[in-house]
Homo-oligomer: A and B are copies of this chain.
């Protein structure tokens, strides 16, 4: 790419500021980093002059010399899914209170995109990262971050074989089990499970919760009622015909988006969700409770997961080892209108 036409950044040297104020360049440098070694009055004079001169503090060079950058990465899978958008918002609220600059990455389960972003954090010496690991992430990918000094907290998903890295997530197995137990309690026996990735811990755990609930009730697991590798509303819509062909009386979806896609398609076919076919979601995104019919779903604690992960990371950055390295937030069943006893 031709970049010859771009003007070079206008850079003033520390020396120029130092000369104007009659102080040393070392003092200017410390002042710009808000060092406690510099008197508040001096710091203000340096800041005012730097601002007036349009000085851009050269953190690229500075970060080679100082340990902290106050930059933290937050990496999620899909911000089009309100679950992750709500999670990011909760994480950000906490990090911003600690005067941290947040760099977000939306990897879309593309391992290369995640890797490029994490490389950037490493190269720029970010302090830490809160990570929903993409499909394909290995323990080595994570330990490498920690070895390089990038404090890491995992959220929402596990990396199999990685037990020591701090982690905060909802208890996916318990949550999906609750939803299916609720459906069984209403009298359903042909219950489909729709969605999730077999390559992600949340996909595997929720499927396990589904299977455990069936087994506990003595209902045989029918592989024909299980549809995986689906994540979005449109994928929920597209699979509805195939699911209905198996004649389930209830559908336990992997997440709210898939459930809402299915609910929408049921309506288009003249079937009333919650009467003709029961549907449960997972996450309890804002949209779930305001739909008509309101969606029976499992609250996945995104605000709490986000808040606790951020608190764990800021604690680590302040030198405090987390009291608990693995936090499982207990999900809650939210009973609404999309489930009822099977039609006679």
A→B interface (CB under 8 Å):
1-10, 54, 56-61, 63-64, 67-68, 71, 79-80, 82, 85-86, 88-89, 92, 96, 101-106, 108, 110, 113, 116-117, 119-120, 122-125, 144, 147-149, 151, 233, 260-261, 264, 267, 286-287, 290-292, 317-319
Contact = CB atoms under 8 A, between A and B. Distances in A.
Contact of A8 (B149, B291, B317): B149
B117 A319 contact: no
A113 B319 CA distance: 25
Contact of A319 (B1, B103, B122, B317): B1
A10 B146 CA distance: 11
Chain copies in complex: 2
A102 B113 CA distance: 9
Contacts of A96: 110, 113
Q: Please list the 5 inter-chain residue pairs (A to B) with the smallest Cβ-Cβ separation, ordered nearest first.
A: A59-B123, A104-B104, A2-B319, A3-B67, A103-B103
Contacts of A318: 1-2
- If over half of A's interface residues share one DSSP class (helix, strand or loop), that class is named, otherwise mixed; here it is mixed
A279 B68 CA distance: 51
A1 B98 CA distance: 11
Between A1, A89, A264, the greatest number of chain B beta carbons within 10 A of the residue's beta carbon is seen for: A1
Given A106-B89, A113-B96, A290 B80 contact: no
Contact of A144 (B54, B64, B68, B149): B54
Contact of A120 (B71, B79, B82, B113): B71
A233 B10 CA distance: 44
Contact of A103 (B5, B59, B108, B120): B120
B92 A116 contact: no
Contact of A7 (B61, B120, B149, B319): B149
B149 A6 contact: yes
B105 A68 contact: no
Contacts of A105: 102-104
A257 B318 CA distance: 39
Contacts of A260: 290
Given A67-B3, A79-B85, A148-B9, A290 B233 contact: yes
Contacts of A61: 60, 64
Contact of A67 (B6, B58, B147): B6
16 contacts: A2-B318, A2-B319, A3-B317, A6-B67, A9-B149, A56-B122, A59-B120, A60-B123, A71-B120, A79-B85, A88-B106, A101-B120, A102-B106, A103-B105, A103-B117, A104-B105
